[in-house]
Structure 1
């Protein structure tokens, strides 16, 4: 390095930029880097560092947005084990965490000497893992080697997702001939990012001049196309030139002084002990940060953090022998498919992607790992209602309705799910579902399959699937059959209803007589005749057989209203009587949960069921009234004994159990309405 330096442009790599930034701070010399994208290179730590390209902070944010857009949660990161790779992937992990994602595995490669054996070893480990979303953050010189080995391991096929950072777009822009070589087969379906540089007349003219010049310099190999870093390098020179012009116009001078603190570095290959401090370095730095001009890469303007403003990227998909832009990303608008990064009116998201394996179906992003353990699924070892869940005697196989639903659901998945059932319970009593769910929270089981009711309290500690059967609590009690009798025709109405109906007949007859007797001869005559007429007229309307005519307007109005009421009474009576004579009538002293709660009778429930807590906490039934029972046979015995003989007055249990119980026991029945609504589901965490 020169003894008297006013500014530095470079270096090419972030690792070297870290070293030179320390020197630039001591010498108070602005360091402008057009290729050091390490996000930890900031003006807070290195005040004289000015980044004239995009920071990987924004690139990793874009990668995290892409991962979130396709609803992937776990990714694998492959990167070079140096400051550039580690710091970039660290930012990626932070950005994924903000979107509830994570890096499930980090595969590092030695920056000094990467061999195919090292790459192969890293990729073989990755192939055995669950995640199929791989982010490749590496240098262009090694990237194609990694992808070539991945292709040889069949990791570039259907189901895999490869997201390459801007190293790939840089390589493709610099070497268009790659599209005509075998290497293009190694990158099919990849997504990569490219720093956005808008098209402009000045950019087209410069590219044309550059291609012409490089062709003249090397007619055999040229021309040498520029990538985005080349454009940023050109703009960096102009930024420094503009800043120096403003610096000199404002009276700045190139004056230097010795720094005694550098004497300890005497003898180094960089000869740092001979360098001198730039006295006006802070002033030149200020002029650099004040630059605002349009260049080949667009607007060159710096924010307060020393980074370029309006960071944006193109999202590119490698297809066939070329590339296709599928959208943009910008720090203000995120992912979108607008005309440019700052115009997102056409909609959020990305255009369709051709994925590895030449498929347009978005990969799921994960598979069950080849070295993974099967799911440990807990199953309650029931002694009752084995039609739902039961274990085959002498084996570890399970059957029943719940098991059949679970296996049928798994058969619909497009991928295999290894699992193993484990019984829970001693086989003597029904296990408590609360204890079974606790086994999930402590990690003993991965899931539970069985007749597990979905309740509010349980959803606070575990996750349930959608209900696969509806259920709810019902009351089951002994019932008696009512025999029909000769007086059955009176049962549709209660005695009070009969009395009220008869009174209405008499009242209506009297009202019509009052309205008609002055002008209607049918309602005149001796008192006895008029009384008989009222009685006859009233009850003959029941069959619409009255023969007396009404003359007055009010009389006709009252009669019409009354005939309409009689029609309703007739219809209700006939429907009720038909039901009584044709449907078997059952009777129970318990009418439902309301009558059971206010009584002092003992109530039975299934041991281990949530019904116990529900009755105590929600219905305020004293625990002493509750009797735990283990099986349908105990249900039957307790109901037959009755509360007076040490049994129970009723059983409260879920409808699914009770329907199975009542299928072979006609002397009991469900009374009242179902008073809870819930369902059964499978459990995980």
Structure 2
């Protein structure tokens, strides 16, 4: 047959080396203006071939997250993000595709998407349009377009706001090295000498006061100064780090949840929520291995919020597992919850068609064009960009410092003041009793009370005598002064004797 070379009813019959006819059975002629241009591209036609029938496209009747797909009341017309993407993609096809949307579902709860796409294999639907996740089980029997929306299962949990804590200001510091410093310095420095209790207090005071460069003690030993130089450099770094750390602790809002992802849910036995009709139920039980008894079906964002806030023992759940687009829309109006961890599946949403459908290929090209020219993002912003949780307000609120952030400091200050006042009054009372007991009470009762009051006031107003505390230092100073005076007198005496000797030697020589 390949050697055939004759003219028949269809024209000249002869084959090329690639086994194709030399002359095709038809010519493609495009009329452009007054001219004619002949082409060799295969025609696609003006209408998608379906034996003259409209495509029956199944559309889920959603009762929650209606921004993605919803039915116009009283009609078979659908609207939403997914519908707009489909109609925009169809408008880019080089041929017309007649279709009609067929709603699927009872209108009381979200339908099972697995059952919906399986109706394509039975021939009931020619395609399914909606928020259909592209998963392995479905791709075995159906063809999908390229994803027009990124998806994946995520875990959403309630988060608690962690307060900064009353003792947050203590976090930047660890145990200092001033024990060695005190050992080196007390041997040569009188300010670091005294009873062990006094030495310990001085070391602690010196260590803390150097943080603010407010110390008055001086160092005299070489080892002590070496340690102090290193410590002051450490203080410089600590002050900068302390300021930055404390600012972050006091102003940055901290959120906490005991669940940090799907692994935490696998290890526990608490109930988990999922969306009715979603493939999340099958994935959690078959792929993750979570017991079906732990799963709770939830039908709306309101049920999500109520279940997450309720005690698990009273019908609540510790987390909700759902697809990312739903959760993003849920979190745009529910500010008390957050996504824990990262998406643990990677998938997308696409339109489902029978096996080897040319529409799946052509619509994939159209979806790619929508993504490149920005129309896909504009459709997304039209339906899904809305948020009642303002990030600006959250940041402003988190930057405000409250009184409770410092009550630990106030408590320490109050305790120190109270302890100091208590000790002071105990000392005054003891001194008052000694003073009163030594006085002879010979006045009348009224004058006795007035005298005691004056005595108490005088004791409170009396200047504290520090001579006792400084007696050792004064004795040392007097000893040093006497030693210096003695040395001066001895030097003066030696000078006078030297001068007299010189005068006598001069006289003798004369």
Q: Secondary structure in 1 aligned to 2:30?
A: coil
C-alpha offsets along residues 368-412 of structure 1, whole Å, 9 cap, x if unaligned?
A: 447655444322222222221011122111001111222233344
Matching of residues 171-570 of structure 1 within 5 Å: 189=38, 355=39, 366-369=44-47, 372=50, 373-413=53-93, 416-478=96-158, 488-491=165-168, 498=171, 504-505=174-175, 507-513=176-182, 521=189, 524-526=192-194, 527-543=196-212, 545=214, 552=223, 555=227, 556-557=229-230, 559-561=232-234, 563-570=236-243
Aligned twin of 1:157: 30
Instruction: Go from structure 1 to structure 2 and tell me whether the alpha carbon gap of 1:517 and 1:631 turns closer, same or farther (over 3 Å shift).
Output: same
Instruction: Go from structure 1 to structure 2 and tell me whether the alpha carbon gap of 1:633 and 1:564 turns closer, same or farther (over 3 Å shift).
Output: closer
C-alpha offsets along residues 581-627 of structure 1, whole Å, 9 cap, x if unaligned?
A: xx5x6665655444433222211211221211222234321111112
Q: 2:64·2:301 contact (CA, 8 Å) conserved in 1?
A: yes
Gaps of at least 5 residues in structure 1 are: 1-37, 42-55, 57-78, 94-134, 139-145, 160-184, 190-354, 357-362
Q: Distance in 2 between matches of 1:576 and 1:83?
A: 88
Q: 2:83·2:130 contact (CA, 8 Å) conserved in 1?
A: yes
Q: Distance in 2 between matches of 1:474 and 1:453?
A: 14
Q: Secondary structure in 2 aligned to 1:157?
A: strand
Instruction: Go from structure 1 to structure 2 and tell me whether the alpha carbon gap of 1:84 and 1:441 turns closer, same or farther (over 3 Å shift).
Output: farther
Within the candidate set 286, 300, 312, 1:631 is matched to: 300
Q: Distance in 2 between matches of 1:411 and 1:477?
A: 41
Q: Which segments of structure 1 move beyond 6 Å, counting only runs of 4 or more? A: 81-84
TM-score relative to the length of structure 1 = 0.43
Q: Distance in 2 between matches of 1:673 and 1:370?
A: 45
Q: Does 1:137 align with 2:23?
A: yes
Instruction: Go from structure 1 to structure 2 and tell me whether the alpha carbon gap of 1:533 and 1:436 turns closer, same or farther (over 3 Å shift).
Output: same
Greater helix proportion: 2
Q: Secondary structure in 2 aligned to 1:156?
A: strand
Instruction: Go from structure 1 to structure 2 and tell me whether the alpha carbon gap of 1:672 and 1:84 turns closer, same or farther (over 3 Å shift).
Output: same
Q: 2:47·2:96 contact (CA, 8 Å) conserved in 1?
A: no
Q: 1:480·1:588 contact (CA, 8 Å) conserved in 2?
A: yes
Q: Distance in 1 between matches of 2:282 and 2:118?
A: 17
Q: Distance in 2 between matches of 1:662 and 1:612?
A: 21
Q: Distance in 2 between matches of 1:651 and 1:368?
A: 48
Q: Does 1:673 align with 2:341?
A: yes
Q: Distance in 1 between matches of 2:78 and 2:86?
A: 11
Matching of residues 13-162 of structure 1 within 5 Å: 38-39=1-2, 80=8, 85=13, 88=15, 92=19, 137=23, 155-157=28-30
Q: 1:474·1:670 contact (CA, 8 Å) conserved in 2?
A: no
Instruction: Go from structure 1 to structure 2 and tell me whether the alpha carbon gap of 1:158 and 1:560 turns closer, same or farther (over 3 Å shift).
Output: farther
Q: Distance in 1 between matches of 2:213 and 2:351?
A: 63
Q: 2:44·2:95 contact (CA, 8 Å) conserved in 1?
A: no
Aligned twin of 1:215: none
Instruction: Go from structure 1 to structure 2 and tell me whether the alpha carbon gap of 1:637 and 1:533 turns closer, same or farther (over 3 Å shift).
Output: closer
Q: Distance in 1 between matches of 2:31 and 2:280?
A: 50
Q: Distance in 2 between matches of 1:671 and 1:522?
A: 62
Q: Secondary structure in 2 aligned to 1:652?
A: strand
Q: Does 1:606 align with 2:479?
A: no
Within the candidate set 597, 601, 608, 2:266 is matched to: 597
Q: Distance in 1 between matches of 2:347 and 2:209?
A: 53
Q: 1:639·1:648 contact (CA, 8 Å) conserved in 2?
A: yes
Aligned twin of 1:617: 286
- Pairwise CA distance, 1:577: 0.8
Within the candidate set 226, 250, 255, 1:577 is matched to: 250
Q: Distance in 2 between matches of 1:567 and 1:595?
A: 37
Aligned twin of 1:650: 319
Q: Distance in 2 between matches of 1:464 and 1:512?
A: 75
- Pairwise CA distance, 1:649: 3.2
